[in-house]
């Protein structure tokens, strides 16, 4: 099982590989894109400078360093869609990245995938920005030319298990999220801007629209106490994003045959990224040596070391993990 880790600076490559990452992913917003569209209309769903490389020269150096250590590099071109004017630029950047040795392109736009396959015979990974909900979706994207899918964050372990079986049957590689940025919505249906203050290296909850403080009112014929519970649960999302975790599902992921576990957080500091990779590697190494209950307790310890808080339901990707 590989670890796919984020990076946003060429100087992060070796540290992340040494920590245990075998695959790395990034985004690039170069001068041409910044001049024409800025960061608000990002080419890769990250609308802040600290989450992106600034040039293809940086990408080239990153690929060289990674390949020297037998690690792979994935480039994100995963906006939900591109305009007719943007598409030629996206295709040009994709070609440039592949010429530099990028191993795979992470893509969301269904219209872009066949163009990349036709023009470059590119290896394409399907972003969670275009979510798969069932086996028919897996069949569709396989026919479209995708070689790998990352499962949406909101799926249950049972749903991931069933999708994994079918993906393996039709020859699709699979990924599952294990750390950070648990979204209260479905990625592929989200149109919020993911803006982050440029001087902050660990993504804060405040600036993101889906985490802004708000009051929720339940309109229902259910008892008042039941409605209050629902209202409070909705508002709990304000406190997510900073310490979300799904490491306790790694044991199940191994059983399902999932190829790669993915860590979110391109805008995080290098220190945070290294800690995430080390924690994930530890969980993977221990997953085959512990029973379900033992492994869940181990992951609670890893979580506390990582976030200095006890794990809880609202920050858990897969609340049913470890229950056999």
Question: DSSP class of residue 49?
Answer: G
- pLDDT band at 161; cut points 50, 70, 90: very high
Average confidence (pLDDT) over 210-232: 67
107 within 8 A of 78, measured Cβ to Cβ: yes
Say if residue 174's pLDDT is above 70.
Answer: yes
The model's confidence at residue 313, banded by pLDDT at 50, 70 and 90, is: confident
Residue 178 scores a pLDDT above 80:
yes
Q: Residue 204: what pLDDT?
A: 45
pLDDT in tens, 78-87: 999 899 999 9
Interval 30-52 mean pLDDT: 88
Quote the pLDDT of residue 244.
86
Nearest to 248 by CA among 200, 295, 195, 314: 295
pLDDT tens per residue, range 87-144 = 999 999 999 999 999 999 999 999 999 999 999 999 999 999 999 999 999 999 999 9
pLDDT at 221 over 50: yes
**Which DSSP category does 165 fall into?**
H
DSSP reduced 3-state for 266: coil
Phi, psi dihedral angles at 315 (to 5 degrees)? -100, 10
Of 269, 264, 260, the residue nearest 11 (C-alpha): 269
- Tokens found for residue 19: 């920590």
Look-up: residue for tokens 């479209």?
144
pLDDT at position 67 is: 99
> Phi/psi of residue 232, each to 5°?
-65, -35
What's the chain's average pLDDT?
Answer: 87
Average pLDDT rounded to a whole number, residues 43-47: 85
User: Residue 323: what pLDDT?
Assistant: 46
Q: Report the distance separating Cα 309 and Cα 274, nearest Å.
A: 19
Classify residue 23 by its DSSP letter.
E
- d(CA 119, CA 121) in angstroms, rounded, equals 6
Side-chain-side CA neighbours of residue 175 (13 Å): 24
DSSP labels, 56-121: HHHHHHHHHHHHHTT-EEEEEE--S---TTHHHHHHHHHHHHHHTT--EEEE--TTHHHHHHHHH-
């Amino acid at each position: 099982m590989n670890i796919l880790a984020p990076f946003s600076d060429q100087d992060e490559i070796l540290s992340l590989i040494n920590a245990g990452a075998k695959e790395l992913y990034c985004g690039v917003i170069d001068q041409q894109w910044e001049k024409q569209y800025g960061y608000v209309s990002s080419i890769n769903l990250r609308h802040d400078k600290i989450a992106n490389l600034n040039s293809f020269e940086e990408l080239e150096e990153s690929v060289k360093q990674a390949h020297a250590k037998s690690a792979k590099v994935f480039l994100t071109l995963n906006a939900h869609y591109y305009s007719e004017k943007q598409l030629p630029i996206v295709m040009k950047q994709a070609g440039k990245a592949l010429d530099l040795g990028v191993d795979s392109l992470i893509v969301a736009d269904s219209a872009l995938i066949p163009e990349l396959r036709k023009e470059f015979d590119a290896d394409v990974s399907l972003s969670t920005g275009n979510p798969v909900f069932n086996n028919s979706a897996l069949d569709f994207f396989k026919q479209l030319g995708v070689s790998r899918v990352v499962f949406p964050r909101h799926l249950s372990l049972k749903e991931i298990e069933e999708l994994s079986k079918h993906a393996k049957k039709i020859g699709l590689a699979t990924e599952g999220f294990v750390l950070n940025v648990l979204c209260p919505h479905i990625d592929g249906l989200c149109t919020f801007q993911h803006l982050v203050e440029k001087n902050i290296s660990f993504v804060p909850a405040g600036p993101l629209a889906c985490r802004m403080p708000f009051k929720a009112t339940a309109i229902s014929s259910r008892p008042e106490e039941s409605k209050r519970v629902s209202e409070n649960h909705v508002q709990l999302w304000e406190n997510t994003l900073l310490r979300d975790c799904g490491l306790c599902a790694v044991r199940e992921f191994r059983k399902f045959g999932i190829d790669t576990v993915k860590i979110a957080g391109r805008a995080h500091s290098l220190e945070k990224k290294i800690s995430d990779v080390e924690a994930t590697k530890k969980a993977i190494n221990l997953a085959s040596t512990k029973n379900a209950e033992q492994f869940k307790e181990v992951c609670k310890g890893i979580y506390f070391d990582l976030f200095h808080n006890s794990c809880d339901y609202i920050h858990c990707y897969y609340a049913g993990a470890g229950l056999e």
